[in-house]
Structure 1
Amino acid sequence: MRSTTNASGPAVRLALAVGSVTALLAGCGEAPARSFAAVPVNRPVTLVPVSSSPPATPAPSPAAGVPATPGDFAGCRDGDCEARVRAGDTIPIDPGLGVDEISVVGLRGDAARIAFTGTSTVVDGANTSISRSCYNDRCRVRGALTISTSRPGRIGDVGLRLTRVEGDSALLVLQPAAGE
């Protein structure tokens, strides 16, 4: 007949747990880890002075003619400008160009995801999606596309080109699209 002994109490449970861990580690051929009791409490600490000198490479200055602050996009209304943009920025465009506004949805690597509203279904870029809804012969178009430094895009009569992405901002060039 098999007999069972029940051990109780915190000390017994701790001893069983430590013994089990030690047996497992010994079975794997590794030395058991040091317990926290063996770690010295008062080790010397070495402080390293923090330098207050400016970084060796200065931050690039904004290009001439480019809005220095995001949100200053009044010069882009005619669809011909350079703008420093960040995710969340919206650029109003003259509706006569087939697009009412362009919004930067996000920046990743050397690419930007652009959303737009307008009337033109002439859209070119990567990962393009558009939807069109009409009421009483008045149609509205919503869509999105991805452009990159190596792949420009187009919405209506506005060409889009991404010249560079730097951190959380990018330089976006809008120009009249070549007629087809």
Structure 2
Amino acid sequence: MPTLARLIAAALLLTLAACADSSATPTTTPPTTAPATATPATTTPPATGSATPGTASPPPPTASTPTPSAGPQAADRNDLAACKDGDCEVDIKADDRIAIDKRFGVERLTISSLDADEVRVTLLGSSGGLQVEGMNVSVSGNCVNGRCRDEGNLSLAPGRPGRINDLRVEVTHLTDDRAILRLSPE
């Protein structure tokens, strides 16, 4: 009989012998070398909180408030209202809306999206008054029921600022899910 078959037969015999005499006290047997394809006849029950075989583990509990990302903090933190006067430094994330005083010719900035490479901003301004400089700029006029506005898009990245009318717009810090946006009048 080949060695592998003997090892499997011995392991099976020991397992069956242990199961047959359930009243006997368990004894420790010296470990035997079993082939990688052999599977034990009994399994240890899973520890409390772990998944049973064949099921997915439950997700770990999450905190109700996100922890701030490592890195610099904006002077105005996440107080987007601080930008109303055109002079602020705020933490931003996708879908944030920033209201700007109409005297700057732009009413609102919306953070369309951001990733590790750039922040994409959608602009809404008064008709004919939106002048934009920067990366990936587009500006168009839109009239609905006699009410005209300018709409535009602008991309920003650290070291690549933009300008919206008389406002300098720059990103000073950028990660996959947050950025620091600085607005300052020119």
* 1:169 partnered with 2:178: yes
Question: SS of the counterpart of 1:127?
Answer: strand
Correspondence for 1:74: 81
Contact 1:133 1:140 in 2 (8 A): yes
Contact 2:158 2:173 in 1 (8 A): yes
Total equivalences in the alignment: 126
CA distance in 2, matches of 1:114, 1:59: 21
- Structure 2 length-normalised TM: 0.59
2:153 alignment partner, one of 144, 165, 178: 144
- Tell me by how many angstroms 1:156 deviates: 1.8
Question: SS of the counterpart of 1:96?
Answer: helix
Written as runs of structure 1 = structure 2, the 5 A alignment for 1:1-180 is 39-42=37-40, 60=70, 63=73, 65-67=75-77, 69=78, 72-119=79-126, 120-134=129-143, 139-177=148-186
- Tell me by how many angstroms 1:155 deviates: 1.3
Contact 1:91 1:102 in 2 (8 A): yes
Paired residue type of 1:117: L
- Tell me by how many angstroms 1:73 deviates: 1.1
Question: SS of the counterpart of 1:75?
Answer: helix
Contact 1:110 1:164 in 2 (8 A): no
Identity of aligned residues (%): 37
Q: 1:94 to 1:171 in 2, by over 3 A?
A: same
Question: SS of the counterpart of 1:110?
Answer: coil
- Structure 1 length-normalised TM: 0.60
CA distance in 1, matches of 2:105, 2:148: 11
Paired residue type of 1:157: D
Structure 2: stretches of 5+ with no match in the other structure: 1-35, 48-67
Paired residue type of 1:41: T
Q: Provide the aligned C-alpha RMSD in A.
A: 3.0
User: CA offsets, 1:12-42, max 9 Å, x none?
Assistant: xxxxxxxxxxxxxxxxxxxxxxxxxx83333
